[in-house]
Each structure stands twice: as structure tokens, then as C-alpha cells.
């Protein structure tokens, strides 16, 4: 079975770990969001790709969900001592190595997709991890700060400001000119099922879908497309998805997110049992829907979610 | 009193610490060797400048004489795990920050001299540390390896090969086209005394003198030029100076090094007491000479060496 997953960071990575347990023999291609990539200290940092790679490769800091296990922060302390920031982005000493290798390879002329493959040669995540594009896309968030309307990098909005001010708009700058990375459209065309994990529908899955060609390829693939709600009981399971949903005029409910994707793209949708009453509304939008436990409390619970998603995909296929 | 010192790495840095104690009110300009600079992992590394900066700024690893105190090597371990080398060059996590800041500033268009000043804003070494040039000079060593004659970077010869094969030639590549960095010729012209610390006469002091204009400025400054022998009892005090002295046809003795500099450049020369018999030979070459203890066993012994050098400079002036 060939599965394609559109993944953001922590939520996507944890779901993938469950999916690998649920479908150990599946051939899984992960199309990773790169809209949250950021250049820091002259280095190219790809937080979502790295979170997937470290999580599946056994190098993740389990408690915080991002960054490396057994990490130290001496380099960052020294940069601060030189007065060089930003200090709000937590790059550890071990993590820096990934960004140095990536930056060197890019400087040597390799596209990000080839670099990602080279990094994965070490981590062996057990999936094909492909960035959504080799082109530069950078998600910016329009906010009002100190009475002034300005656009900040997504990481600045998310990490420094902790989404404490309303997002007035979310713009994946460069997406319109971006091309899907080699392998992306091929994987979608050959997929048996396509999954949207409980990742952020705006800044993670939404950014991937903003790369011209990807949304169309998914809609035209002719295979079940099934998603899992990142909203449980009207609140994001983790992160601050509600803040960026508001920016695109979508209410923070499991049903509204399904409608936001729409039946032209989405065939099946899992909501949490606490949102069981929204099943009717999702079905009315032309999307198969079922209520199951959606909290990724541990690996077994996450694997069960993945099984439910694959079962729903079967139902879509048979419908 | 204005003192100019031509410095390499460890020997130069330790001597400078003694000089600062011996002449606390002196205005000291250090012209640093950059011929051993190396680009690693996309970063510009300046070992000699950093050794001076860390030693005088209180950040040096005292035991090894280079690199940072309280250092970890997690980033380097991770680079090795990615298969990215070289592994033979010991960059620590804290040390990396210096190279990242330097590389970023150079990429932003600042010359190395301005970058060095910015780094020293943090370390406050108590001297004006100026690279010999803002241009790229890279010392290469011609060796025979595996039956083949090839040129290797000085760091590869010194650190990886540990000078285990004969140096057939030492070439400061790019020196002929290099210009002295801003402040170098001015400091020499305004100096009251110029000192050659017990640094390597070929790859440290020799490389600085290879930048067109510097040797001439020193010879024409009309002030005492006094050096301290890095060779004690026919062997280098530390390092492997004998290996590179052989490459330029100079025997490894205190007297031969003085003759190598020559009376056109050098006015006074200190040899160690064990080399007292060479005083006559050095004087015969037209260079004032005295035998004093030259082992930098501790700060007081080093300060005493600096005082002897300044005293000899006075004698030169009065001669």
C-alpha cells in the first residue's frame, strides 16, 4: 500500500509514528511543509522537515516535540554573548549540525529535496521525506504590533509572539511561483490513499496545498483523501491553530476545518468522540465522517487513529 | 609607550599576556597571522586571531592553549554522524559561535579587520588586535604523501599530519597580492618598539612579513625591533617549528633564526640561557643579543621575558 501524508511539524510527526506502527509494510511518502523554514545565523533551518526526521529517526526531544534529545545550548549562549540574535529561536548544539550540513549542501548547488534525502540517509526515518518544493516559500503573518500593521515571519509570530496578537492574514510568500519538488506529484499520482494528519490546516497542510499543482494532483488522484481533525472540542489539540484559522475566516471547530478543505479535496474526515455531533454537518458537506478518539496520548492510541483513517479510506473506496 | 607585536597563535598569545603585565600602561597593537585561516563547514575560522583573543579575553582553554574553556563538542559529533568532516580539526560548540558570527559579518560585507574588532568588543583583550591583511592568504605546505608530491593546507600539515612528513616548501598563497589591513602600517609607523614574540618564524611571523609593505615598514620604522627565540636548546619550545624551518633551509637553533630574520630587520634578540654560547654568533650578525630564561612557565616568568625584551630595546635605542 502506498500512502502519501501531508505533514507539518509535531502533530504530523507523531501521527506518522502511529501510521508506521499501524501499517508497517506500507510505502509512505511524506510531503513536508517548508513554509516555516527560516534563515538564522546564515543557516537554512527547516523546522517541520527536521521534526519529522528526528521523530521518526529516534533523535527527537520527546518532551518538547521538537529539537534534539540530549541537547545543549552552548553555541546559542555564545551567540547571545556576542549580541547576536534572535534569542527566541531555540537552536541547540546538536541541531546546529543539521543546519550546517544543509546549508553547505545548498551552497554547493544541491536542491533541498536532495539535501533532505542525504540527511535522511543518516536518520533512516522509514518514510520517503520530500519537501513540498525546492523553491523558497516563506509563510508571513500580517499583524498589528505597536499600532503598526506589519508582516512577520511565521516563526516570529509563532515562537516569539506566541500568537499573542491576532493574525490578520497568513501569506505563503513565494508559493505561487513555487514548483512541487521532484517526486511530489509522482507520489500523489501513485498513491493508494492520501492522509492529512492532525497538522495545522492553514500554516502546515494549507501551505503545502498552496504550491500550484499539489492541490489539483490530490483532487485528481482518484484515491481516498482522508483527514484527521486537529481541533478537538473547539480547541486545537496542541499549538495555536485557532489563531491562524481566524485569519482565513474559519471557525475553530472540527466541522469547519473539514468544510474549509471541502469535498472537492477531502473524501473522509475523522473527528474526536467529543465532537460526535459534528458528524452530521460534515456528512452534509459531502464528506464521509466518523467520530473516534483523536488524542495522540501514546503510540498505541496514535496507531489506532491511523488505523481508523485507513479504515475510513476503505469505506470511501467502497462507497 | 606604543608597542607593536607580530603574533602567531599559542606562543604569541601567552607572550602577550606577559607583556601586558610587564607594561600595563603600554598601547599594544597586535598584528595577527591569518595565513593559518581555514574554511570549514562553510565557516571562516581564524585560529591565530582567536587564540590571541580568547587568551587575552579570558576565554581560552588553558591546558591545551587553543579553543574555549568549558567546551563541549556535540556539534562536531553530529557532523561526524552525518559523515561530514574533517574530524581532525577540533571545533567546539562555544568556539563555533565565533566562526558563525565572523562568517555572517563577512557575508554582510565587513572586512576581517572590522569583524575582528567587533568580536573583540566582547572579549576586550586589552590590545588592538588587527589581522595582517583583510585579503585571503592561505599557507600551504608542499609534502610528499603516498609517493606523490602535493600541497596541503597548513592546518592539514600541522593538525592532521602533525608535521610527521618533511615540509619541502611553505608557501603563503595569496600573500604577494595581499595588502596590509587598515591600521597595520600606521601602527608600525607610530610604534616606539616592535617585538617578535617566540612565535613560529616561518608560518607565523614569516607569513606576516610576507605581506608586501609590512617587512619594509618595520625595517624603516627607525625604532628598536626585538625578538625572542622560539628555539631553546636546538628544539622548538612548543610546536614543530623545526619542521618548517628545514623547509626554508634554516637550522633549528636560536642563532640561525636570528640570522634568518637578519640585521636589516632585527635589532635585538633574546636567546635562552642554555643557548648562551650563541650570543657571540648573533652579535657577529649585527644584532644585539642577550641570554635570559625564555621558558613561559607561568605569567611572572613570561612578564620577566617581556621586560627583558623591552630592556634590550632600550639598549638598542641607546646604542
Mutate to test the interface with A, among B41, B42, B69, B124 (most CBs of A within 10 A): B42
For the domain made up of A2-36+128-133+177-318, give the CATH fold: Rossmann fold (3.40.50)
pLDDT, average across residues A80-96: 95
pLDDT of residue A315: 97
User: Radius of gyration of chain A from Cα atoms?
Assistant: 19
Asked if the model's pLDDT at residue B241 lies above 90, the reply is no
Q: Confidence class of residue B224 from pLDDT cuts 50, 70 and 90? A: very high
Write the pLDDT tens digit of every residue in B18-40.
Answer: 999 999 999 999 999 999 999 99
pLDDT of residue A169: 94
**Does the CB of A106 have a partner CB in chain B at under 8 Å?**
no
Phi and psi at residue A273, in whole multiples of 5°? -60, -30
Write the pLDDT tens digit of every residue in A258-285.
Answer: 999 999 999 999 999 999 999 999 999 9
CA distance B292 to A145: 68
Indicate the angle between helix axes B299-318 and B10-22, nearest 10 degrees. 70
> Could you tell me whether strands B268-271 and B288-291 are parallel, antiparallel, or unpaired per DSSP bridges?
parallel
Asked if the model's pLDDT at residue B17 lies above 90, the reply is yes
Decide if B94 and A79 are in contact by the 8 Å CB cutoff: no
> Could you tell me whether strands A268-271 and B2-7 are parallel, antiparallel, or unpaired per DSSP bridges?
unpaired
pLDDT of residue A238: 78
**Does the CB of A96 have a partner CB in chain B at under 8 Å?**
yes
**Does the CB of B42 have a partner CB in chain A at under 8 Å?**
yes
Residue that the C-alpha cell 497538522 belongs to: A199
**A78 to chain B: which residues are within 8 Å by CB?**
93-94, 96-98
If you ran DSSP here, which 8-state letter would residue B42 be given?
Answer: T
Q: Confidence class of residue A310 from pLDDT cuts 50, 70 and 90? A: very high
- Across all residues in chain B, what is the average pLDDT? 96
Cβ atoms of A289 and A259 closer than 8 Å: no
Write the pLDDT tens digit of every residue in A133-167.
Answer: 999 999 999 999 989 999 999 999 999 999 999 99
Write the pLDDT tens digit of every residue in B177-216.
Answer: 999 999 999 999 999 999 999 999 999 999 999 999 999 9
Asked if the model's pLDDT at residue B239 lies above 90, the reply is no
Decide if B75 and A96 are in contact by the 8 Å CB cutoff: yes
Decide if A96 and B97 are in contact by the 8 Å CB cutoff: no
pLDDT of residue A12: 96
Mutate to test the interface with B, among A39, A42, A61 (most CBs of B within 10 A): A42
- Across all residues in chain A, what is the average pLDDT? 96
* Side-chain-facing half-sphere of A308: CA atoms under 13 Å: 25
pLDDT of residue A297: 94
Q: B260 vs chain A: nearest CA distance in angstroms?
A: 41
pLDDT of residue A234: 82
Phi and psi at residue A125, in whole multiples of 5°? -70, -10
Name the residue among B82, B104, B107 with its Cβ closest to that of A97: B82
pLDDT of residue B235: 83
Architecture of the domain defined by B2-37+124-133+177-318: 3-Layer(aba) Sandwich (3.40)
Q: Is ipTM over 0.95?
A: no
Query: Is the peptide bond prior to A297 cis by the omega test (within 30 degrees of 0)?
Result: no
Asked if the model's pLDDT at residue A211 lies above 90, the reply is yes
**Does the CB of B77 have a partner CB in chain A at under 8 Å?**
yes
Q: B56 vs chain A: nearest CA distance in angstroms?
A: 16
Residue length of chain B: 319
Mutate to test the interface with A, among B44, B68, B70, B78 (most CBs of A within 10 A): B78
Q: What is the DSSP string of B180-211?
A: BPTTHHHHHHH-SEEEE-SS-TTTTHHHHHTS
**B54 to chain A: which residues are within 8 Å by CB?**
none
Q: B42 vs chain A: nearest CA distance in angstroms?
A: 6
Decide if A101 and B93 are in contact by the 8 Å CB cutoff: no
At residue A227, the 3 state secondary structure works out as strand
Domain boundaries, chain A: 2-36+128-133+177-318
Amino acid at each position: 500500500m502506498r500512502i502519501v501524508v501531508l505533514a507539518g511539524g509535531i502533530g504530523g510527526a507523531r501521527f506518522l509514528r502511529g501510521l508506521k506502527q499501524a501499517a508497517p509494510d506500507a510505502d509512505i511518502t511524506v510531503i513536508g511543509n517548508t513554509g516555516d523554514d527560516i534563515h538564522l545565523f546564515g543557516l537554512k533551518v527547516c523546522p517541520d522537515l527536521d521534526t519529522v526526521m528526528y521523530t521518526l529517526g529516534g533523535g527527537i526531544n520527546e518532551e518538547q516535540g521538537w529539537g534534539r534529545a540530549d541537547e545543549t545550548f552552548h553555541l546559542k549562549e555564545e551567540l547571545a554573548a556576542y549580541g547576536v540574535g534572535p534569542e527566541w529561536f531555540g537552536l541547540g548544539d546538536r541541531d546546529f549540525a543539521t543546519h550546517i550540513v544543509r546549508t553547505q549542501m545548498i551552497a554547493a548547488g544541491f536542491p533541498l529535496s536532495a539535501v533532505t534525502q542525504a540527511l535522511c540517509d543518516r536518520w533512516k526515518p522509514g518514510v520517503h521525506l520530500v519537501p513540498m518544493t525546492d523553491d523558497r516559500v516563506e509563510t508571513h503573518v500580517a499583524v498589528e504590533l505597536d499600532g503598526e500593521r506589519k508582516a512577520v515571519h511565521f516563526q516570529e509570530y509563532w515562537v516569539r509572539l506566541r500568537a499573542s496578537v491576532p493574525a490578520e492574514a497568513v501569506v505563503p510568500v513565494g508559493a505561487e511561483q513555487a514548483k512541487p519538488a521532484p517526486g511530489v506529484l509522482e507520489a500523489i499520482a501513485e498513491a493508494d490513499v492520501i492522509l492529512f494528519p492532525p497538522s495545522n490546516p492553514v500554516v502546515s497542510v494549507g501551505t503545502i496545498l498552496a504550491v500550484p499543482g499539489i492541490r489539483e494532483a490530490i483532487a485528481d488522484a482518484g484515491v481516498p483523501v482522508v483527514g484527521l481533525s486537529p481541533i478537538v472540542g473547539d480547541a486545537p489539540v496542541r499549538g495555536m491553530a485557532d489563531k491562524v484559522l481566524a485569519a482565513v475566516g474559519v471557525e475553530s471547530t472540527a466541522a469547519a476545518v473539514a468544510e474549509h478543505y471541502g469535498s472537492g479535496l477531502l473524501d473522509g474526515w475523522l473527528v474526536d468522540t467529543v465532537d460526535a455531533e459534528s458528524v452530521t454537518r460534515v456528512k452534509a458537506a459531502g464528506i464521509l465522517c466518523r467520530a473516534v478518539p483523536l488524542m495522540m496520548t501514546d503510540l498505541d492510541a496514535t496507531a489506532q487513529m491511523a488505523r481508523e483513517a485507513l479504515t475510513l479510506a476503505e469505506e470511501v473506496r467502497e462507497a
